[in-house]
Amino acid sequence: MTVRMDNVGIVVEDLAAAIEFFRELGLELEGQTVVEGEWAGRVTGLGNQRVEVAMMRTPDGHGRLEISRFLEPSVVADHRNAPVNALGYLRVMFAVDDLDETLERLSEHGAELVSSEVVRYEDVYRLCYVRGPEGILVGLAEELG
């Protein structure tokens, strides 16, 4: 049996801001469209729906992020400010070459460290979590050595 992760989905209110944030991180916009109709609602269980979707991919082509903005039906829950130990979806983690430079670029798009510091794990990684647009939790890891 073969299994391959296709994408991780995030729901936002401001699709353009989320696209720009993840572009700044280094992802590429693969495509953008509106998904609507009864068939889509059968997949999600939401009935007739209308959703703006942007698909972004990592430069290596192995990971994709689906960013959605629901037009219909209305969003019913908000988990954006949930703490790191909340049940359910937590975060998406990206490996970066230069953590300090990445943080500097993302700060121009509103990213803020969840903790007050970047933490070193032995001589293996430098790690941190940031809150991006709308409080999206993103992990960043720089491999050392």
Give Cα 24 distance to the centre of its chain. Answer: 12
Q: What is the pLDDT of residues 51-75, one digit of tens each?
A: 999 999 999 999 999 999 999 998 8
- Using a pLDDT cut of 90, give the percent of the chain over it: 68
- The beta strand positions in 5-91, using DSSP E, are 8-11, 28-37, 49-57, 64-72
Banded pLDDT at 141 (limits 50, 70, 90):
very high
Query: Which residue ranges form the domains of the chain, and what is each CATH number?
Result: 8-72 (3.10.180.10), 92-143 (3.10.180.10)
Q: What is the pTM of this model?
A: 0.88
Which pLDDT does position 53 carry in this prediction?
A: 96
DSSP one-letter code for 119: E
Using the structure block, give the residue that is written with the tokens 């790690």: 127
In which element (H, E) is residue 25 found? helix 15-25
Q: What is the 3-state secondary structure (H, E, C) of 3-14?
A: CCCCCEEEECCC
Taking residues 120-129, report their average pLDDT. 94
Taking residues 31-35, report their average pLDDT. 96
Q: What is the pLDDT of residues 42-53, one digit of tens each?
A: 888 888 899 999
